[in-house]
Chains A and B, each alone.
Chain A
Amino acid sequence: MELVKDLPAIFEEFSEQRKNAFLRMHELKQQGKPFVGGFCTYLPKELPLAMGACMVGLCSKDGETIPEAEQDLPRNLCPLIKSSYGYAKTDKCPFFYFSDLIVGETTCDGKKKMYEMLAEFKPVHVMELPNSQSPMGKKLFAEEIKKFKEKLESHFETTITEEQIKEAIHKTNEQRKALKAFYGLQKMDPAPMGGLDMHRVLDGVQFRFDMERATEEVKALTQKVIDEYDPEKYRGRKRILLTGSPIGCSTQKVVNAIESNGGVVVCYENCGGARSVDELIDETNPDVYDALAKRYINIPCSCMSPNPGRLELMDRLIDEYKIDGVIEVVLQACHTFNVESYKIKNYVTEKKGVPYMFMETDYSSTDAGQVNTRVGAFIEML
C-alpha cells in the first residue's frame, strides 16, 4: 500500500478516526454488522472478530459527561469510570448506543461496580478476570473465555468455530506486529516522530473497523516515517517513557508539556501502547482458549497482584528506547496504579538508575500550568 498524503496529514487523519468512526459504524450497522463494546484491554477481541462482529472501545477519555455521572457515582472516583458511565447514561456516546453487547471484566473495584450499574441501560456481560496470574488464574480465565464465546453465540444466535478464532488470532497478531514495528521506530535516536503523533496512531487504529486494512495502513505509515526520517527534528531531546493509568484526553496535556520543555515521548507503557500490544498470541498452540488466556492474563496491569510483568516490561523498554526519564501519570483516585507507583519508582531509580517523576491528574485542563512546571523542572533535572 502506498500513502499519497504527507505525514502531518496522515497523523491528523488518525486522530480524526474516532470522529469518523461514528459514521462508519452507522453504515456498518445498517449492513447488519453486529457491534461489541468493550472497556479494557483484557477483553479477548478475537472472539467478536471471529463471529464477524466489530469491536469498539468505550473507554471514555474526556470529562464532558462527568457532572451527570456524579449524580449517581461518588465524586472521588477515577474520571475514566465516571466519564464512561456518564456517556452511557446520557446516551451521548454513539459507540455505546450502537453496541449490541457491552463486555466488561472484573478489573479494578470502581470499574466492576460501575458495570453492575451499566446493566440498567444495556445488555452487559462481565468476564471474571482473576487478579492473580497464577496457574489457577489462567485456568479460570480460559473458562471465562469459553463462557464469553457461548454468550456471544447465544446473544447473536450464531456459532463460532475454532477455525474462525484461529483466523482472528492471526489477524490481531499481524496488527500487533505492525503496531510494534511502528512504535518501535522511536528506538531510533534521535526520535523520528513526536509522542503526540505516535499516540494518535495508537489510539486511532482502535477505531478502524476493517482490521486488515488498518494493519496495512500502519505498515505503510511506518515505511513513510522511515523514508522521511529527519534526525535534526528531535535531536538533543530528552527521551521520555510515559507510564501509569490510561489517561485518555489528558495525554495531550502531558505530552505537550513534555515536548514544549525539551523532551520527546519515545515510549508508552500504557494501555494502547506497549502494555496491551507487546505480547503476541501463540498461534501454534492447538488449544485456542489456552492460547488466549495465557496471553491476555499476562497483560501487566496494576489490577494484577502481584504484577511482576510490569517491571520486566519497563526493564526492557528503558534499555531498548534509551530512556532518560520516566514519567508516571496516574488518574485521580486510581488506587492500583497509585499504590504500585512506589514499586515502579524504586525499580526505575534504583535498579535502572533512571530519574522518575509521579504526577496525578484528571481529565480537566485546570492543572495544565502545574503539569507544565513539574514536567519542565523534571526535564531540566535530567
Chain B
Amino acid sequence: MAKYSLGIDCGSTTVKGVLFDGEKVVDSRLVATSARPALRMHEVYEKLWNEDVGYVVTTGYGRELLPEANKKVTEITCHAKGAHFLGGSVGGVIDIGGQDSKAILLDKDGNVADFLMNDKCAAGTGRFIEMMCRILECTGEQLDTFSPKGPTVDITSMCTVFAESEIISLLAQDVARDDIALGVIRSICRRTATFASRLPMQGSVFFSGGLARYELFRSHLEAAIGRPVVTHAQSQLCGALGAAILGYRFVK
C-alpha cells in the first residue's frame, strides 16, 4: 500500500521536492535549476521516489517537464495549500520567487479566493537581489547581518537595469554597503506591498519563496504591509509541499 505523495516544484532558480506522508515532510530536496530544468526535476524525482509513493504532482513553470507526474497543478494553487499547512490560519500569501512575485488571497479553508501575479518585470524578485549581491559583493547569507550605518537610502528605479546603475552611483558616493542593501530591500518590500494591497487580505500573511528565509526581508515586509508577516523554516518548499498535499488525496 502506498504511503507517500511526492510534490516537485520547478521554479526559475531552484527545483524543490517534498516527500509527504499525510502529516509531515518526510524528506526533501532543493537543487539549482540551471539551464536544464527537465534534468534537474528528474534528479529530484529519482532521489525522493520510492515504492511507497502513490502519487506525483508537479508545479512551477517547469511543471510539464516530468513525464512521470500524475498531475500538474499551477504554483498558485500549490503555494496556497502549502502556506495553509505551514502557516495555519493565514489570510494570504506573498511569494517572492526568482522571476516573478505573487500575492494570493485565501479563504478560511485555505483555498485560493483571488490572486495577482507580477511577471512583467524582474524588479522586486529574487533576480533583483542576486543582481544586488553581485554588485555589493556579498552573499545572501550575509544579508541578515546588515545594519544601518548612515541615513536611509532610497532606491527609486523600477527596473533592474536602472537600479543597477543607481547602486553603482551610490557606491561611487561612498555610501555604506549595508545602507544600500537595506535601501534595496526596503524598496522591494514596499513595491511588493503596494502590489499585494490590491487584494483585501485579512489577518496575517504567509511569506514564501527563497527570500523568506531572511529575517531582514520578513521584518521589512511586515512594516510595509502593516500586518503580521509569518514564515516558516520550510517556506522555500511551500510550493512543492502544496503539490504533495494535493497529491496525497489520491494516494491509496
Decide whether A and B are members of one complex: yes
- Residues of A bordering B, CB below 8 Å: 355, 360, 367, 369-370, 373-374, 376-378, 380-381
Q: Which one of A367, A370, A373, A380 lies within 8 Å of B112 (CB-CB)?
A: A380
Chain B residues with CB under 8 Å of A377's CB are: 74-77, 112, 115
Contacts A355-B114, A369-B61; A380 near B119 (Cβ below 8 A): no
The 5 A-B residue pairs whose C-beta atoms are closest, nearest first, are A377-B76, A377-B74, A376-B74, A381-B112, A380-B77
Flag whether B73 is at the interface (Cβ < 8 A).
yes
Chain A residues with CB under 8 Å of B113's CB are: 381
Q: Which one of A355, A370, A376, A381 lies within 8 Å of B119 (CB-CB)?
A: A370
Flag whether B111 is at the interface (Cβ < 8 A).
yes
**Chain B 63-98 interface residues, beta-carbon cutoff 8 Å to A:** 73-77
Flag whether B117 is at the interface (Cβ < 8 A).
yes
Q: Whole-angstrom distance between the alpha carbons of A377 and B61 in the complex? A: 12
Quick one: closest B residue to A374, CB to CB? B117
Chain B residues with CB under 8 Å of A381's CB are: 76-77, 111-115
Q: Nearest chain B CB to A356's CB is how many angstroms away?
A: 8
- Residues of B bordering A, CB below 8 Å: 61, 73-77, 100, 111-115, 117, 119-120
Q: CB distance A380 to B76 under 8 Å?
A: yes
Contacts A380-B112, A381-B113; A373 near B61 (Cβ below 8 A): yes
Q: Which one of A355, A370, A380 lies within 8 Å of B117 (CB-CB)?
A: A370
Q: Whole-angstrom distance between the alpha carbons of A360 and B120 in the complex? A: 10
* Chain B CB within 10 A, most for which of A360, A367, A377: A377
Q: CB distance A373 to B117 under 8 Å?
A: yes
Q: Whole-angstrom distance between the alpha carbons of A369 and B120 in the complex? A: 12
Chain B residues with CB under 8 Å of A374's CB are: 117
Q: Whole-angstrom distance between the alpha carbons of A377 and B74 in the complex? A: 5
Q: Which one of B61, B74, B100, B114 lies within 8 Å of A380 (CB-CB)?
A: B74
* Chain B CB within 10 A, most for which of A369, A370, A380: A380
Quick one: closest A residue to B99, CB to CB? A370
A-B contact pairs, 27 of them (CB 8 A): A355-B114, A360-B120, A367-B119, A369-B61, A370-B100, A370-B119, A373-B61, A373-B74, A373-B75, A373-B117, A374-B117, A376-B74, A377-B74, A377-B76, A377-B77, A377-B115, A378-B115, A380-B74, A380-B76, A380-B77, A380-B112, A381-B76, A381-B77, A381-B111, A381-B112, A381-B113, A381-B114
Q: Whole-angstrom distance between the alpha carbons of A360 and B100 in the complex? A: 15
Chain A residues with CB under 8 Å of B117's CB are: 370, 373-374
Chain B residues with CB under 8 Å of A355's CB are: 114
Q: Whole-angstrom distance between the alpha carbons of A146 and B252 in the complex? A: 73
Q: Nearest chain A CB to B80's CB is how many angstroms away?
A: 9
Chain A residues with CB under 8 Å of B75's CB are: 373, 377
Chain B residues with CB under 8 Å of A367's CB are: 119
Q: Nearest chain A CB to B77's CB is how many angstroms away?
A: 4
Quick one: closest B residue to A355, CB to CB? B114
Q: CB distance A380 to B73 under 8 Å?
A: yes
Q: Nearest chain B CB to A348's CB is how many angstroms away?
A: 12
Chain A residues with CB under 8 Å of B73's CB are: 380
Q: Whole-angstrom distance between the alpha carbons of A373 and B61 in the complex? A: 8
Q: Whole-angstrom distance between the alpha carbons of A367 and B120 in the complex? A: 9
**Given A355-B114, A373-B74, A378-B115, list of 14 further CB < 8 A pairs?**
A367-B119, A370-B117, A373-B75, A373-B117, A376-B74, A377-B74, A377-B75, A377-B115, A380-B77, A380-B112, A381-B77, A381-B112, A381-B113, A381-B114
Q: Whole-angstrom distance between the alpha carbons of A373 and B114 in the complex? A: 14
Chain A residues with CB under 8 Å of B61's CB are: 369, 373
Quick one: closest B residue to A380, CB to CB? B77
Q: Nearest chain B CB to A118's CB is how many angstroms away?
A: 31
Quick one: closest B residue to A370, CB to CB? B119
* Chain B CB within 10 A, most for which of A360, A369, A370, A373: A373
Q: Whole-angstrom distance between the alpha carbons of A355 and B120 in the complex? A: 23
* Chain B CB within 10 A, most for which of A355, A369, A370: A370
Quick one: closest B residue to A379, CB to CB? B74
Chain B residues with CB under 8 Å of A370's CB are: 100, 117, 119
Q: Whole-angstrom distance between the alpha carbons of A275 and B167 in the complex? A: 50
Q: Whole-angstrom distance between the alpha carbons of A149 and B61 in the complex? A: 55
Quick one: closest A residue to B100, CB to CB? A370
Q: Whole-angstrom distance between the alpha carbons of A367 and B119 in the complex? A: 9
Quick one: closest A residue to B104, CB to CB? A377
